[in-house]
């Protein structure tokens, strides 16, 4: 076979490799098919030519011969074209043999050093403006109050409500008095002789169908009209109260979310002072620092009662962040000094300033919840009062001569002749007993409304204190402590090492740092007592927080809290829980902060 060796040749050839046998078989078969196709096409041409020669001029035979010649010719053309195309594209399509791999030549290239890299630190921080939430969003300002703000609005609302309910009570008393003036005219007892045998029953006539309240009918109608006006006014104030409750709940939710975020970011949290120092350091080093507002609508405007929580960036993979320009030599000396101090008696850290962030948040939350609860009860009592006043008016409208009994005398007109003569009416035309009971209910509801607004007793418990005392005494003290104790303390104390500190161990030791409660444990607190335990979820601690939050001012609040914790500790100790008693006795709020140093 031209172009390919037959199998008997390459199978017996020792120079042929075993892995080439399959490709030689394929090559032989391909060439065989091509030659066979060519021979058949040539035979077709010859056969067509013979048919054409013997057609003897017959059209059908000539057409058959032409078709035979044309088909054979195109078949041969396709076969040769395919072979040439495959061979032109790649001889491997014809030879069907994989060429041997060429050895790889390694080119040596010179190593190009990488360009110098610059350290890039990033930090993304979320703003937690708890002070602004308390003052500007929760209470909408501070003393002296601006007109139109939330606290003055609530005070005006409840005072107007009290005035309206006073008017409704007085007008209800007037209605009761007017109903007492209604009477059946000629109110005397009937002649007993009309009950004698033979005297017919007392007839009923027009004498008992008059208006028993005619002398006071105009006053009754006027009072009912005034009641309706006051009820409409009360509904307006009630709508205002419901709106204030909704707004207070929205701001309370903000504060609770801020507190939760602070607890989740407990070990990384920065104050505004810290953040400003960090911002300066990042700017000087051309690092990336971003601030994200938890609430876009809240602007702190330099409020020092603000925390920042780093939530992303390369800084999250580092140790606790510090900004320091201390020289390596000085830092080494400080580390050696720290190692030496481990073997020596520990010197107590002085935490000179307490910043009761957790307590101010707790006082605000509980006060707001109490205020919301009082206002919600006030709304319900207003509805009850409206229903009670409406009920009284319905009862007064039931005054009618139908309740009057005709008065008759028995007249004798001869032997076996007697008859009853109607000369008047007697009885009570109004349901006086029910009206009196309804007025008592109105008085009771109005007294409850007044207690909700003004309070009762000493106004020193959540059950007794009123809305107005909360507004006038409790809230101003919370805002005062927020400004004087929280903001001032956080402004003067930082938790990061400032960049301008010089390289001296003494300067480092004298630096005052903002520490959370757990970091300040074993330090000496502002009152000279060692900080031992940080609490939040313990039942006894929560009970004491709930007992003392209405105290006016931080000093009274702390005295109340400490006294309560000591009493709870005694109860636990008596019950045999000495370890728990010691913890409760020394509890401090987990979210309180301290300015510690040295």
pLDDT tens-digit profile of 315-353?
A: 776 654 444 444 445 445 544 544 444 334 446 788 888
Q: What is the per-residue pLDDT across 541-576, written as a single tens digit (0 to 9) for each? A: 999 999 999 998 999 999 999 999 999 999 999 999
**Diameter over CA atoms, the chain:** 172
- What's the rounded mean pLDDT across residues 494-518? 62
User: What is the distance between the alpha carbons of residues 478 and 476, in angstroms, rounded to a whole number?
Assistant: 5
Calpha distance 125→333 (Å, rounded): 33
Say if residue 254's pLDDT is above 70.
yes
Residue 259 has a pLDDT of 94
In the prediction, which pLDDT does 188 show? Answer: 42
Q: Is 267 helix (H, G, I), strand (E, B) or coil?
A: coil
The model's pTM is 0.70
Say if residue 195's pLDDT is above 60.
no
Q: Between these two residues, 293 and 231, which has the higher pLDDT value?
A: 231
pLDDT at 246: 95
Burial 165-190 (b: 16+ CB within 10 A, else e): bebbbebbebbbebbeebbbeebeeb
Kindly report which listed range (36-45, 65-74, 215-224, 493-502) carries the lowest average pLDDT score. 493-502
Q: What is the pLDDT of residue 497?
A: 52
Among 52-61, 112-121, 159-168, the range of highest mean pLDDT: 159-168
Tokens of 584: 């409760």
pLDDT score, position 496: 53
* pLDDT tens-digit readout, 53-69: 777 777 877 777 777 77
571-585 per-position pLDDT tens digit: 999 999 999 999 999
Find which of 196-210, 252-266, 323-337 is predicted with most confidence, using mean pLDDT. 252-266
Distance of CA 227 to the CA centre of its chain: 42
Q: What 3-state class would DSSP assign to 177? A: helix
Please check the confidence at residue 359 and state whether its pLDDT lies above 60.
yes
Interhelix angle 150-180/357-397, nearest 10 degrees: 20
Question: Cβ(410)–Cβ(419) under 8 Å?
Answer: yes
Report the pLDDT value the prediction gives residue 383, as an integer from 0 to 100. Answer: 96
Residue 156, pLDDT > 80, answer: yes
Name the more confident of 82 and 326. 82
Query: Could you tell me what percent of the chain has a pLDDT over 70?
Result: 76
Average pLDDT over residues 472-476: 93
How would DSSP label each residue in 191-245?
Answer: PGGGGSTTPPPPP--GGG-S-TTGGGHHHHHHHHHHHHHHHHHHHHHHHHHHHHH
| pLDDT at residue 375 greater than cutoff 60 | yes
Q: For residue range 385-406, what is the model confidence (pLDDT) as tens digits?
A: 999 999 999 999 999 888 887 7
Residue 52's pLDDT band, with cuts at 50, 70 and 90, is confident
- Cα dist. 524→118, 205, 519, 528, 579 in Å? 43, 96, 12, 6, 21
Cα–Cα distance measured from residue 137 to residue 256, given in angstroms and rounded to the nearest whole number:
13
> What H or E segment, with its residue span, contains residue 101?
none
Rounded Cα distance between 591 and 536, Å, is 8
CB hemisphere CA count around 386 (13 angstroms): 18
């Amino acid at each position: 076979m031209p172009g390919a060796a037959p199998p008997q040749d390459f199978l017996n050839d020792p120079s042929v490799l075993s892995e080439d046998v399959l490709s030689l078989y394929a090559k032989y078969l391909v060439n065989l098919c091509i030659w066979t196709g060519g021979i058949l096409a040539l035979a077709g041409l010859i056969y067509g030519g013979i048919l054409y020669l013997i057609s003897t001029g017959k059209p059908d035979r000539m057409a058959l011969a032409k078709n035979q010649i044309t088909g054979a010719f195109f078949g041969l053309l396709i076969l040769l074209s395919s072979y040439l195309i495959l061979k032109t594209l790649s001889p491997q399509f014809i030879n069907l043999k994989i060429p041997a791999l060429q050895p790889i030549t390694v080119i040596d290239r010179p190593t190009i050093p990488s360009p110098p890299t610059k350290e890039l630190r990033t930090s993304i921080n979320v703003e937690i403006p708890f002070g602004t939430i308390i003052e500007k969003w929760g209470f909408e300002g501070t003393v002296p109050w601006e007109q139109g703000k939330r606290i003055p609005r609530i005070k005006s609302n409840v005072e107007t409500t009290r005035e309206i309910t006073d008017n409704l009570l007085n007008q209800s008393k007037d209605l009761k008095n007017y109903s007492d003036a209604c009477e059946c005219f000629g109110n005397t007892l009937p002649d007993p002789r009309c009950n004698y045998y033979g005297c017919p029953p007392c007839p009923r006539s027009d004498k008992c169908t008059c208006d028993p309240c005619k002398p006071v009918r105009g006053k009754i109608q006027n009072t009912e009209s005034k009641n309706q006006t006051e009820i409409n006014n009360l509904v307006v104030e009630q709508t205002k109260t419901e709106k204030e409750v909704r707004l207070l709940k929205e701001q309370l939710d903000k504060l609770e979310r801020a507190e939760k975020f602070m607890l989740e970011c407990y070990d990384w949290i920065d104050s505004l002072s810290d953040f400003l120092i960090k911002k300066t350091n990042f700017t000087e080093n051309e690092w990336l620092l971003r601030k994200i507002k938890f609430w876009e609508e809240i602007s702190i405007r330099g409020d020092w009662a603000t925390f920042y929580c780093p939530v992303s960036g390369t800084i999250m993979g580092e140790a606790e962040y510090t900004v320091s320009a201390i020289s390596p030599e000085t830092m080494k000396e400080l580390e050696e000094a720290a190692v030496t101090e481990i073997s020596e008696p520990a010197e107590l850290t002085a935490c000179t300033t307490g910043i009761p962030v957790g307590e101010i948040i707790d006082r605000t939350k509980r006060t707001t919840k109490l205020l919301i609860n009082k206002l919600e009860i006030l709304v319900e009592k207003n509805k009850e009062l409206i229903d009670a006043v409406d009920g009284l008016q319905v009862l007064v409208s039931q005054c009618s001569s139908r309740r009057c009994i005709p008065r008759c005398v028995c007249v004798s007109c001869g032997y076996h002749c007697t008859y009853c003569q109607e000369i008047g009416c007697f009885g009570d035309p109004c349901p006086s007993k029910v009206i009196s009971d309804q007025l008592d209910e109105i008085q009771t509801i109005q007294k409850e409304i007044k207690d909700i607004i003004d309070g009762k007793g000493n106004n020193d418990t959540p059950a007794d204190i009123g809305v107005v005392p909360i507004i006038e005494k409790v809230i101003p003290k919370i805002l005062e402590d927020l400004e004087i104790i929280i903001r001032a303390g956080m402004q003067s104390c930082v938790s990061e090492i400032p960049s301008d500190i010089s390289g001296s161990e003494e300067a480092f030791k004298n630096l005052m740092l903002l520490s959370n409660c757990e970091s300040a444990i074993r330090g000496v607190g502002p009152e000279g007592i060692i900080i031992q335990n940080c609490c939040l979820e313990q039942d006894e601690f929560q009970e004491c927080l709930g007992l003392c939050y209405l105290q006016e001012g931080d000093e009274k609040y702390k005295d109340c809290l400490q006294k309560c914790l000591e009493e709870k500790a005694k109860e636990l100790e008596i019950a045999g829980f000495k370890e728990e008693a010691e913890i409760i006795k020394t509890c401090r709020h987990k979210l309180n902060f301290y300015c510690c140093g040295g």
